[in-house]
């Protein structure tokens, strides 16, 4: 920190005077103080992870000597309105350059990435929505530039930070960009005609980006390397209160915090946290995960997660749950779209098994609410870890337009094994009833009008009378309504999210589970019943549904992480049932139907859904 200006530069933190922890003592902070109760100081550990170094710097491809007579690819990212922008841009290009040849592509569809180098001389890629659209457009443009094809990325101007980060982390900081004016693009995306002013505003920039020769500096820039961050920082103040306040400010100045007061992660407190797991401090949790930012990837070590858990206020006995949750999230198969998208998608962290009760997790009334240290600090530890390890910071790589509900802690709950009549949820995933497991699952795609979008209600509670049959019927109807995935195959188109294969999570109140159990339903029996009742008899499928599903089964797309695809191991199941006498499942796999029992008696029944690829169940050692 520059003590004169009061500013801190990431990577150049030296000695500061720091932050706020109510009720802390000098002893438990590991503080030292001068004679007579003078200056207080303590060390804190850095919670951030240095980003993996990008590859060697690459120069942009040689530019065109002109546009007329050339083949120009317009590459749509699949997000709403981008197709109309390219309609307008195509019309303007052809008007100004009569002999130009325009070819249209959609990212991830019909092998676009392999075709472009062969079919056109240059390309324009975009236009993503808000969120990570800019980063994805830039990263995709760089991949094509590295294959020798000149291009330019188009995106909303307010996303320049994301675009520049993607360029830096992909090793091509000089990649050409042509940002569109936000105030013209987003409100006018409904037709080619309405997009003309926006396309006109960037036409010259696009042409310039494709034709202006590269400067020497663009080809000679050294690959940017992340600045080395100090592992420990000394914090001091005239009193414990002032030292703690200055730590808090230090954390906020360096992007370590979530806006709420933080517990200083002193070496001794982190060591206590680490003793709660048998894993070595430098062990990686999960895989090295791509950041949705070009070639950059990060890994979460046990020690860095421990630092964030201390800052969150978690007790050491909670740490095994935090570790298991991070293992699931840092699995390469777990989509981080839930943390980055401009849609306010969210994360559910659910603990099942005896450990939940042992560490005092709330599984009853107010199960998703405040006031429960275990639930709240477990979720906050994961939130801070994603902020400091994956670098998902609000307004930057986390671009949720309205934020995310319960964003400081995510949604954290435990199964109510005391009132549930069944064995724990995780037994249907191959674990033993006596095991304890944590499930991390994306939520918030669509149906929850009136429930903040993240959850949909299916009866229960005390306000209106309900019946077990009515609740079960509403769940079945809700799932079966997503049979649109059969007929509405929309590869590479962002607005097709609700007609893709989905993952379903339901939380049943203990009183509903009790009544269903009285009727003879076991946990597996209920699961199998819902799978069967939501499968569509082949004879009831329309011709459009049959043909659409056959196309989905026969094609593969890489767009949007491949979430349009039926998983390979389930394709034979669908083909086997696409014939008279067959029943075609709406729920792609039994593993995509997840039922928990939680809450109090007279609780609500609710559910959530999300795309495939954001659900992991991890055993807690």
Query: Whose CA is closest to 385, among 296, 317, 324?
Result: 324
What is the reported pTM? Answer: 0.90
Q: What is the pLDDT of residue 293?
A: 60
Pairwise CA distance, residues 389 & 18, whole Å: 22
Segments in the chain below pLDDT 70: 1-38, 52-55, 130-131, 216-229, 290-296, 446-453, 495-496
Of how many residues is the chain composed? 621
Non-local (6+) Cβ contacts of 467 within 8 A are none
Q: Where are the domains of the chain?
A: 71-220, 318-619
Sign of the torsion formed by the C-alpha atoms of 193, 198, 199 and 203: positive
Query: Whose CA is closest to 442, among 544, 311, 353, 337?
Result: 337
Q: What is the pLDDT of residue 15?
A: 43
Pairwise CA distance, residues 610 & 497, whole Å: 9
Non-local (6+) Cβ contacts of 98 within 8 A are 68
Q: What is the pLDDT of residue 367?
A: 93
- Residue whose tokens read 């198969």: 333
Pairwise CA distance, residues 491 & 524, whole Å: 34
Query: Whose CA is closest to 349, among 372, 371, 320, 329?
Result: 329
CATH 3.10.20.600 fits 71-220, yes or no: no
Pairwise CA distance, residues 397 & 382, whole Å: 16
Non-local (6+) Cβ contacts of 31 within 8 A are 40, 41, 42, 240, 243
Q: What is the pLDDT of residue 24?
A: 38
The strand order across the sheet containing 122-126 reads 101-106, 71-76, 122-126, 151-153
The strand order across the sheet containing 604-611 reads 456-460, 604-611, 502-508, 593-597
Task: Please name the helix (run of DSSP H) or strand (run of DSSP E) that holds residue 142, with its range, or none.
Answer: helix 133-145
Cα 364–chain centre separation = 28
Q: What is the pLDDT of residue 162?
A: 87
- Residue whose tokens read 């083909």: 575
The answer to whether the beta carbons of residues 276 and 319 sit under 8 Å apart is yes
Query: What is the DSSP secondary structure assignment for residue 453, as one 8-state letter?
Result: B
For residue 11 the two structure tokens come to: 């990577």
Cis bond leading into 127, ω under 30°?
yes
Pairwise CA distance, residues 502 & 481, whole Å: 12
Three-class SS of 39-100: CEEEEEECCCCCCCCCCCCCCCCCCCCCCCCCEEEEEECCCCCHHHHHHHHHHHHHHHCCCC
């Amino acid at each position: 920190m520059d003590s004169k200006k009061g500013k801190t530069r990431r990577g150049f933190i030296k000695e500061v005077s720091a932050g706020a922890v109510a009720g802390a003592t000098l002893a438990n902070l590991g503080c030292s103080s001068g004679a007579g109760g003078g200056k207080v100081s303590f060390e804190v550990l850095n919670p951030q992870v240095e980003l993996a170094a990008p590859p060697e710097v690459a120069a942009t491809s040689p530019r065109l000597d002109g546009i007329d007579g050339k083949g120009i690819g317009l590459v749509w990212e699949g997000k709403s309105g981008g197709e109309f922008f390219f309609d307008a841009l195509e019309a303007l290009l052809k008007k100004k350059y009569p002999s130009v040849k325009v070819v249209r592509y959609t990212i991830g569809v019909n092998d676009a990435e392999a075709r472009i180098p062969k079919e056109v001389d240059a390309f324009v890629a975009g236009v993503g929505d808000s969120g990570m659209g800019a980063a994805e457009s830039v990263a995709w443009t760089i991949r094509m530039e590295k294959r020798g094809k000149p291009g330019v990325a188009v995106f909303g101007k307010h996303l320049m930070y994301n675009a520049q980060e993607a360029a830096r982390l992909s090793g091509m900081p000089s990649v050409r960009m042509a940002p569109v004016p936000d105030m013209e693009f987003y409100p006018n995306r409904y037709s080619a005609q309405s997009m003309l002013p926006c396309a006109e505003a960037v036409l010259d920039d696009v042409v310039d980006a494709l034709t202006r020769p590269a400067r020497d500096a663009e080809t000679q820039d050294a690959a940017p390397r992340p600045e080395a961050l100090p592992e420990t920082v000394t914090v001091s103040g005239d009193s414990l209160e002032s030292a703690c306040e200055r730590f808090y400010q230090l954390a906020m100045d360096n992007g370590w915090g979530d806006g709420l007061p933080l517990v200083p992660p002193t070496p001794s407190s982190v060591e206590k946290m680490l003793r709660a797991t048998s894993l070595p401090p430098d062990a990686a949790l999960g895989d090295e995960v791509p950041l949705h930012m070009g070639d950059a990837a990060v890994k979460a070590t046990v020690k860095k997660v421990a630092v964030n858990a201390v800052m969150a206020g978690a007790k050491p006995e909670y740490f095994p749950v935090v570790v298991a949750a991070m293992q699931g999230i840092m699995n390469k198969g777990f989509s981080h779209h839930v943390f980055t998208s401009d849609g306010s998608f969210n994360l559910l962290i659910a603990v099942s098994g005896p450990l939940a009760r042992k560490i005092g997790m709330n599984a009853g009334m107010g199960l998703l609410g405040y006031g429960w240290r275990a639930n709240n600090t477990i979720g906050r530890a994961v939130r801070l870890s994603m902020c400091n390890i994956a670098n998902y910071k609000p307004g930057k790589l986390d671009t949720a337009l309205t934020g995310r509900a319960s964003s400081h802690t995510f949604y954290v709950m435990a199964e109510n094994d005391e009132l549930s009549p069944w064995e724990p949820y995780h037994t249907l995933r191959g674990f033993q009833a006596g095991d304890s497991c944590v499930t991390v699952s994306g939520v918030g795609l669509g149906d929850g009008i009136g429930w903040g979008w993240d959850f949909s209600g299916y009866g229960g509670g005390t306000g209106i009378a309900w019946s077990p049959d009515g609740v079960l019927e509403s769940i079945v109807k809700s799932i079966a309504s997503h049979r649109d995935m059969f007929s509405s195959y929309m590869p590479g188109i962002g607005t097709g999210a609700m007609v893709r294969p989905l993952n379903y999570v339901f939380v049943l109140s203990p009183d509903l589970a009790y009544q269903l159990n009285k009727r003879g339903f076991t946990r597996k029996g209920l699961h199998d019943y819902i799978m069967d009742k939501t499968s569509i008899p082949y004879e009831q499928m329309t011709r459009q549904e049959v043909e659409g599903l056959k196309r989905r089964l026969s094609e593969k797309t890489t767009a949007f992480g491949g979430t349009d695809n039926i998983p390979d191991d389930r394709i034979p199941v669908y083909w086997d049932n696409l014939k008279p006498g067959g029943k075609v499942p709406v729920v792609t796999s039994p593993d995509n139907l997840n039922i928990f029992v939680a809450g109090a008696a007279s609780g609500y029944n609710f559910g959530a859904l999300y795309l495939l690829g954001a659900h992991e169940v991890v055993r807690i050692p």
